[in-house]
Structure 1
Amino acid sequence: MPADHILTYALAMRGGVEAALGRMFQGWLDRGRRVTLVLGEESGQFQAGVPMGVETVTLGHQSYAGLCTTLPAMIGRMRPDIIFCPGNHYTSMAAWSRLRLAGACPPIVAKMSNAVDRGDHHPVLAWGQRQWLARHRLFLDALVAMTPATARAAQDATGLSVAVIPNPPAALPDLALDRPRPPGRRILGVGRLEPQKRWDRLITAMTHLPPDIGLTILGEGSLRPALTAQIAALGLTGRVTLPGHSADAPAAMAAAQVVALASDYEGVPGVLREALAVGTPVVATDSSPAVREIVRDPALGTVVAREDLAGLVAALRHWLDPVAPRPDPVPQPGQDSPDRYLALFDSIVTARHNRQTLASGNVRFGARAVAVARRLALRPAL
């Protein structure tokens, strides 16, 4: 029994979770499914990636509490066949919808978009996070992770059976392998200017690198003022630039000597896959189990401990050496991910339909049995 109507939601189309969600839509539409996207606001750099066929419902605000409280009523009115929660940031909305709608709530499938163990959590917060994850089995019908290692961690934390489905690949430019590169040596970072990404760590590393090395960070976020102040305080104004979002990030990756990601925590960082897909080596912190799955060979890049500044500097020096060989491009996985998600959705919807049919049949059988028993009880004794 197919999941003909899929409902999903987001505050706005900004960030890696939302970018991956947008890349899923066309595959679902192409297979005849109805897709409803509930948005806080139609904004964000990935809004243009939402295809025309997606039914978008906009609330007009980016209030987490507002979307959380509104969602159950919208689900009850639209009656989708399945709900897709696109990432960890949104699972409390799924839990609230299940609580409010109870048995009338459609099945909910969620994606594990961040690491189970976050590198920025105090031990008390880490304990609370583990308790929250252990309760996911109370409101989710299925959980998806993007790599085997993240699936194992998610299964241990939640007790759910976890499917492994990678994100659909990002579109990459048609780049020649002998593409020219700009003069000088430049490090590229791509991601939101938010605490999770720890761009301050990468900026600090620049003070230990030769003055001919530059750093460009493509992205936008709340930490722009703080990072700008750090750059000025360290005397790096001429070497570190924050140009904001770029629609041509893959081309920038292809032109960079190395792509760096210094995060405290990640799920499965797509920026690493995209950089390797255009043949650019990467340097990344061990921000999730998936990082070593992606950077699986020393020829592809270097993984360092989160707080190892010396190791980060040494890795950057290595890949910025003009004689360091660039890796061969690594194809991105996930070409069939929309189909794999639909197969999972369909199996869950079918299983629920079968259970309901069986329960309904049992109720009817029970009612007939009671009626027969009553007739026998009322029949006069011979």
Structure 2
Amino acid sequence: MLSPYAPVRILTFAHSLQGGGVERAMLRMIRGWVELGQHVTLVLSSAQGPLAAEIPDGVQLIELGTTHLGMIRALPQTVKAAAPDIVFCPGNHYSSAAAWLKLRLGRDCPPIVGKVSNRLDREDQYFPVAQGYRAFLRSYPSFIDHLVAMSPAMAEETVRMTGIGADRVSVIANPPSPEPIGVPTPPLPGADYLIGIGRLTPQKRWDRAIDALARVERRDAKLMIVGEGEVRGELENQIDALGLRSRVHLPGYSTNPRPALAQARALVLTSDFEGVPGVLQEALALGTPVVATDSSVAIREIVAHPRLGSVVPTDDPLALVSAFDHWLAPGRPRPDPVPERGRDSIERYVRLFEELVLDRKLRSLRN
């Protein structure tokens, strides 16, 4: 249904397009907004990276050619020149940019909608980092006009951790990933393999998955981790130290891991912290069970029954090995496919933007 309102001028921003889940979801939303007739401006430090091909036609692209910090510094002037109706902050990692934007523009700042992309109640941080982080979260209501959580449990955590009013938090799932057509998939490592999909970064803790594979009963089982990142060297050293060179494969980033995901015995996610991992929903939509650490309040919302997969504590190596053994066992039945959430997410975002723009106009008239 077409909206009776004029198109919303949306500005969103990111550092780069190197393959992060936050940026992938942002590009899916941008495409949907453009298809619904909205005006979208995308501000990037750099437009280089594997996701650059996913920038849809019809987007006004502003490439600053600077660092992440340089992008934050330039954002207020960029927003002022672009004059959007709404600024969309695509994830927690970018909230400092939103705070700086509000501080610099003050009353002239357009409404800022922030998406909660990762868990806010972080157990992996040490004092005093944790204290500073929690204080920053409590400042969210001063610079974020509305927050979007991707699940009900994340919405509850958002209210608790930030102190923002529940009326300023919406629950909107990420839109599902479209199935790539004609895009090559990474080579399969064999018949009985586990698969991990995500950046090779400290947050993801792929070292846990590699260590667990070395201890499973099936000595012929393999692990493929599809992604790229700064800890590749460390993971390769671990693989060599454990003698797993023939059993652990790091094929790099892929825009089409779906065929490999569909044939895997299970998807593995061993992160310290997550938001609402879309890759879990993609796996379950294909009938592939999952093994995930309890890295977000949303994990058990997705893996809602033992037949869908196993959820283990983040720091319990024995539980992770046991979960691997369970899903690698011969004849283990696979779950029925679970439809992905978020089919109406694009429209719901646009309606939220329209409401915030209209509310701002009404308040301006009253003042």
Alignment TM-score > 0.5, same fold: yes
- Matching residue of 2:271: 263
Equivalent-residue separation in structure 2 for 1:109 and 1:274 (angstroms)? 26
- Matching residue of 1:141: 145
- Matching residue of 1:249: 257
Equivalent-residue separation in structure 2 for 1:73 and 1:182 (angstroms)? 49
Q: Which of 119, 127, 133 is the aligned partner of 1:115?
A: 119
**Superposition map of 1:175-254 within 5 A:** 183-209=190-216, 210-254=218-262
Aligned: 1:154 with 2:145: no
In the alignment, residue 252 of structure 2 is paired with which amino acid?
Answer: G
Contact 2:287–2:334 (8 Å) recurs in 1: yes
Q: Which of 43, 52, 58 is the aligned partner of 2:63?
A: 58
| Aligned pairs, number | 352
> Deviation of residue 322 (structure 1)?
1.7
List alignment gaps of at least 5 residues for structure 2. 182-187
Contact 2:8–2:353 (8 Å) recurs in 1: no
CA gap of 1:173–1:60, structure 2 versus 1, over 3 A, is closer
- Matching residue of 2:184: none
Equivalent-residue separation in structure 2 for 1:55 and 1:71 (angstroms)? 15
Which structure has the larger Rg? 1
Aligned: 1:280 with 2:297: no
> Deviation of residue 120 (structure 1)?
2.1
- Kindly provide the CA deviation profile for residues 228-274 of structure 1, in whole angstroms up to 9, marking residues without a partner as x: 01100111111111110112211110011111000000011111011
Equivalent-residue separation in structure 1 for 2:105 and 2:191 (angstroms)? 59
- Kindly provide the CA deviation profile for residues 307-354 of structure 1, in whole angstroms up to 9, marking residues without a partner as x: 111100001111111221100111111111111011111111111100
Equivalent-residue separation in structure 1 for 2:114 and 2:96 (angstroms)? 11
Equivalent-residue separation in structure 2 for 1:356 and 1:163 (angstroms)? 24
Contact 1:3–1:349 (8 Å) recurs in 2: no
Residue aligned with 1:96, SS: helix
Contact 1:98–1:105 (8 Å) recurs in 2: yes
Aligned: 1:28 with 2:33: yes
Q: Quick one: percent identity of the two aligned structures?
A: 50
Contact 2:119–2:154 (8 Å) recurs in 1: yes
CA gap of 1:117–1:3, structure 2 versus 1, over 3 A, is farther
Equivalent-residue separation in structure 2 for 1:315 and 1:272 (angstroms)? 16
CA gap of 1:182–1:207, structure 2 versus 1, over 3 A, is closer
- Matching residue of 2:10: 6
- Matching residue of 1:301: 309
**Superposition map of 1:352-363 within 5 A:** 352-359=360-367
Contact 2:226–2:253 (8 Å) recurs in 1: yes
List alignment gaps of at least 5 residues for structure 1. 175-180, 360-382
Residue aligned with 1:189, SS: strand
> Deviation of residue 182 (structure 1)?
7.4
- Superposition TM-score, scaled by structure 2 size: 0.93
Tell me how large the CA RMSD over aligned residues is.
1.4
Equivalent-residue separation in structure 1 for 2:137 and 2:76 (angstroms)? 21
- Matching residue of 1:350: 358
